Amino acid sequence: MGRSKYTKYKAAIERLGFRQLDVYRMKDKEIIRLQRIADGRVYVVELPKRRDELTVDEFIKLIKEALARK
């Protein structure tokens, strides 16, 4: 059985110390709820594009930028 194409994005989130709770997919963007493993705090990150339109490096950069603003 093949792995989902989104597995690499979830693994990138886990490397940053977060757990992916939900992903809300819209026509032109996605909203991801993340939980920081260290203290359980939940963050909502809105991506300007869908994950499959981003490379993993672009995805990580957008996540870090969004978390830095919060």
The rounded distance, in Å, linking the Cα atoms of 42 and 67 is: 11
pLDDT at 2: 53
pLDDT beyond 50 at 1: no
The rounded distance, in Å, linking the Cα atoms of 19 and 6 is: 14
**Bridge partners of residue 25, in order along the sequence:** 30
Note the pLDDT tens digit of each residue in 10-59: 999 999 999 999 999 999 999 999 999 999 999 999 999 999 999 999 99
Torsion angle (degrees, nearest 10) of CA 26, 66, 63, 60: 130
Residues sharing a CB contact under 8 Å with residue 43, sequence separation 6 or more, in sequence order: 18, 33, 34, 35, 36, 66, 67, 70
pLDDT at 3: 74
